[in-house]
Structure 1
Amino acid sequence: MTVTAVVDFVTVVFVLATMFSMGLALTADEILASLGHHRLMAKSLLVNLVLAPLLAFAFVLTVPMETGHVVGLLLIAMAPGAPFGPKLAEISRSDVAFASGLMAVLGVVSVATIPVTVALLMPGDVAADPVGIARIVVLTQLLPLVGGLAVRARFQSVATRLHPPVQKLSTALLVLLVVLLTAAYAGEMRQLVGTGTLLISTVVVGGSLLLGYALGGPAKSTREVLATTTAARNVAIALLIATTSFPEPAVLTIIVAFGLLSLVVSGPVAGLWGRDTQGQPANEQT
């Protein structure tokens, strides 16, 4: 079995476990509560589905980059709804319920938006199959998410027992995937240094963080959630699309690098916000 085959298998299982874990942890009330904030949800969808991809696309148009790096940067920018969004909200002591609901909504709507964005923004010389990408997102993201939600709704005690081991499996697979990709593409990782690609990725992550904070509404708790959720893109689905539709080392390398950078930026920021909020009354956090 080749390294590429192992990476493909681990990626698929990682995405399935991650989305199923998300569904097991969510409730219908959390999703409905998020949808009830119409203006906030509209702005959340705008910044995650439109502004973040367009920010990456602006750099693609203005800065010369290798084609593989262009594809990888656009793919990760087009993939919203990182599974660890609620964890960042927990760290920042923000609105965890809104973070969970937003994560579920983004997971559902991205079934349509990712293929459309790929068709609109990918360079003309890059062969893309929007229908095939939509099928991948439905089978590996939407179905396990809905399955987890169904288990939580019908058998809450089962979901409570299942969630911790499935979440641990997801985390372990993410670590394994990063190790495999780093080992397989260490040379490509080193080649990123000095190309400006890492700097561009950092600017896109930082810009997404600022856009999310600016559009997160008057409440500090929702501004922080939208900021970290927008900055932390969905590495899982981006990697899966890359391994099935754009299996070039340069594409996978930039997705992994971007994912690590987003954690390096959004994680400490969430921690700082959490320390600032600690001990404050609830009415001072809004």
Structure 2
Amino acid sequence: MESSALTTLFLPLALFAVMLGMGLGLRGEDFRRVVVYPRPVVVGLVAQLVMLPLLGFALASSLPLRPELAAGLVLLTACPGGPTSNLITYLARGNVALSVSLTAFSSVVTVFTIPLVVNLALGRFLGTATTLRLSLVSTVAQIAVITLLPVGLGMLVNHYRPRTAAQIERGVKWLSLFLLGVIIAGLLIQQRANLLEFLLQVGGAMLGLNLLAMGLGYGLARVAGLDDPSRTAITVEVGLQNGTLAITLASSPLFLNQPDLAIPAAIYSLLMFGTGLAFAAWKHQRRPVAAVSVPQSDGDPVSERK
């Protein structure tokens, strides 16, 4: 695959499909829920937006990674949770409403935090003199357009045509998975000469990051006294990142235009499906069906809707 086709066609299509699919599954009440029952969402956002990037910096600084791979690892931790987390949370019989809320809120907040975290990573691992800098104002505007616009469009369809939105959402999810697979395959083909080296150098690091991130989410949720469905949702949300966004930021000419920075996100995207499904299978076996729609922590009476 030519680099131009990957960065100019498949990346925008995949990211649009991912974010549109998220919006098709969102309603206004998902955002209002944080005001009424804030504790689970606050715990999840702290884990996602504060603790996870700190974990990324710690791992990238302590492991013998090439500078661009270390920066790519931190870039991934700066991104929000991926829409796939909602599906894995559902399979694990977790609090899907909380998962959807966390995905939505983290997608909004990281529009502003990504440039800050990424610039710190670029300065730390690639040197303060590097020209690979993200302008705060322009990057915020660009990320808002490629993420919040399709989410808003999906929410409008869901508001006025909920049945149509539900039908479209299923197809969009499969389309986004297909496009993500094409992107990952394209990146790996482009870097095939260094693929074995990348797997040896960053594969273990990304698996470790994935497992530590899930453990981080679970630990914070447990310390906060949240119920088991909410702990499950936060565990998955912190462990499954929006790899498509990370790959777009790293590879697109609109942003960093450095495909090497996308390698950690590509490998992580493959690994997180395996660990996520394994976690869902384990939780599914441990919890009875009747426990899926229990009242949420802080008295949240909203039942799962996916």
Mark yes or no: TM-score above 0.5. yes
Q: Counterpart of 1:205?
A: 210
Q: Counterpart of 2:260?
A: 250
Corresponding residue SS for 2:226: coil
Answering whether residue 231 of structure 2 is matched by residue 231 of structure 1, we say: no
Q: Counterpart of 1:165?
A: 171
Q: Counterpart of 2:5?
A: 6
Q: Once structures 1 and 2 are overlaid, which stretch shifts more, 136-145 or 25-34?
A: 25-34
Unaligned runs of 5+ residues in structure 1 are none
Deviation at 1:179, TM superposition (A): 2.2
Answering whether residue 280 of structure 2 is matched by residue 270 of structure 1, we say: yes
Q: Aligned letter for 1:4? A: S
Cα distance in 1 for partners of 2:133, 2:150 equals 25
Deviation at 1:238, TM superposition (A): 0.5
Q: Deviations over 1:121-175 (max 9, x none)?
A: 3323442113343233111111111111122112323323322232232122122
Corresponding residue SS for 1:33: helix
Correspondence 1:141-160 to 2 at 5 A = 141-160=147-166
Deviation at 1:189, TM superposition (A): 2.2
Answering whether residue 34 of structure 2 is matched by residue 24 of structure 1, we say: no
Corresponding residue SS for 1:215: helix
Correspondence 1:95-174 to 2 at 5 A = 95-123=95-123, 124-126=128-130, 127-131=132-136, 132-174=138-180
Contact 1:202–1:261 (CA under 8 A) maintained in structure 2: yes
Cα distance in 2 for partners of 1:35, 1:85 equals 22
Cα distance in 1 for partners of 2:65, 2:291 equals 48
Contact 1:31–1:102 (CA under 8 A) maintained in structure 2: no
Q: Counterpart of 2:301?
A: none
Contact 2:68–2:260 (CA under 8 A) maintained in structure 1: yes
Contact 1:17–1:166 (CA under 8 A) maintained in structure 2: yes
Deviation at 1:284, TM superposition (A): 11
Deviation at 1:248, TM superposition (A): 3.0
Cα distance in 2 for partners of 1:249, 1:28 equals 37
Q: Counterpart of 1:63?
A: 63
Corresponding residue SS for 2:5: helix
Deviation at 1:215, TM superposition (A): 1.9
Contact 1:188–1:250 (CA under 8 A) maintained in structure 2: no
Corresponding residue SS for 2:45: helix
Q: Deviations over 1:62-109 (max 9, x none)?
A: 333212101211111111121111101111011111111211111111
Q: Counterpart of 1:88?
A: 88
Unaligned runs of 5+ residues in structure 2 are 298-306
Q: Aligned letter for 1:185? A: Q
Contact 1:30–1:100 (CA under 8 A) maintained in structure 2: yes
Deviation at 1:271, TM superposition (A): 1.6
Contact 2:213–2:239 (CA under 8 A) maintained in structure 1: yes
The change in CA–CA distance for 1:203 and 1:168 in structure 2 (over 3 A counts) is: closer
Contact 1:72–1:242 (CA under 8 A) maintained in structure 2: yes
Q: When the two structures are superposed, what TM-score results if normalisation uses the length of structure 2?
A: 0.86
The change in CA–CA distance for 1:63 and 1:164 in structure 2 (over 3 A counts) is: closer
Cα distance in 1 for partners of 2:35, 2:91 equals 23
